[in-house]
Structure 1
Amino acid sequence: MRVFLAIVLSLMIHTPALAEQPLRLAVPEALAQSGFAQFVVPRFGLKTGLRIERVGENEDAQMRFVTEGPVLFEGLGAQWSLTHDASPKAERFAAWLRSDIGKRTIESYVAPDGATFSSTVEKAVVVPVVRYGGDADEGEKLSLQMCGRCHVINAKNRMNGMGSTPSFAVLRGFKDWGERFETFHLRNPHPSFTQIADVTDPFDPSLPSPIVPMEMTQADLTAILTYVGEMTPADLGAPLQTQ
């Protein structure tokens, strides 16, 4: 019995525990060839004492770098995520990649070919297309014809607009852009020179239009709204403060 206990104790002392076995991380070929994983993974081990074994992307592993899911970093023309088995050690590696030191490690690596990686991932803003049921091509023509003398409509008249008036792309960036365009004829200085059939009142004879009047139909306005609704808004950066 004593001999048996001695053997068991010897095995417990000299045989590594299963929990001490390294985690296996499946690394796609692109990341492996860039040297990224070879650079990042050992630095995690130095900071935490936990070992990770890098394996091919098709091998069995508790963790995998993939291009689907919540993005951790960008590089090599792709956005990369980490899937794992939710074990505490795998969670720790994922948390380390998201930490400040993990991000600095990611961004400090430069591949032999000069490729770099970024942990600052900007989420793409999807701007919904708003459809008013009109003809967008006709709306572009009308916008250039009627509004292009003051506003920059697009690249076709980018040198002809007035510097004091916002471009259509900038206006499209406002949250209330639809209301602004729908009611433009009520907003200064438009009432003094705009006539929309069956919508606006005729000009007061004593207050004629100071410029050549802009005359349109409701269908014309719908076409313009349709064109602007499909336009890509200008990148306005921080939210605009409007009055």
Structure 2
Amino acid sequence: MVRLSFLYPIRPERAALNFTGVRAALSFAGVPALLHWIRTAAAGRAALIPVLVLWLLTVGSPGQAEDRLVRLAVPQALVETGFLKHLLPRFSLKTQVRIELVTPGEAAEAAFSDVPKGTPVFQDVAALWHMQVLDGAHPGTARFVDWLGSDVGARTITAYAPDGVQMFTLPQITTEVEEEIVFEGDAMKGQDLSRSKCGRCHAVAEDMRMTDIGSTPSFFVLRALPDWDYRFQAFYALNPHPSFTQVADVTEPFPADRPSPIVPVAMTLDELEAILAYVSSLTPADLGAPLQHQ
């Protein structure tokens, strides 16, 4: 900014003429051209030109200009929709940040892509478009991201409707709902079976926490594991169970030369289903936060 002070009054029409020259000089060439204009004007109109005292308070730096230019890498397919001619000028009008389109692979601060990398910002019938921030420290890029996520940005995206047909919508992100596992067995019967068939090693109920083998996880701990249902459904195939477990119509008899080292655990598939129903009703143990590896 350049501040001008008059040390003595001049006629208004002359002041207007002089300020026009000042503005022109600053617009096209900055302060050096302004000083040249003053010297030239003073030589021709010494009696009419006031003495100007210039204070250079602030001068825009190249860095400030760069902050207001964002290079955006965009594939040709998106350019050809005409959507960016609708979107980008409205952003620039609002923020005074200019967007320059470049080809993917060229130097850029941000990129639009149909590859799932970055943040989904809009979609059409062909693709879900993502914005990837390549220079997170660039102020103009940050403003573009904020604007796209704002209500104004959302309305601008959805307002593009050439020939009355809306071409782009906000991203439709589907959240997978975890399906609840339901076992149809008798949970009460499953509790009794768990006590009689599994209780010799595992704590299967609250009143058995001090009667299990210390190195064997309780049913509450096993229930807290993400794959607990698989572990229970296939327990007879997971060590150490194969050496002493028999499930009717599923497992092979013990080899004659390798009998069970302990009293075998024998059950049917219906009994296993009842145990699964019981375990599914247990409150999982709190295992705390996952381990953080350094």
TM-score of the pair, normalised by structure 2: 0.38
- The structure with the largest alpha-carbon Rg is 2
Q: Which has the higher contact order (CA 8 A, sep 6+)?
A: 1
TM-score of the pair, normalised by structure 1: 0.45
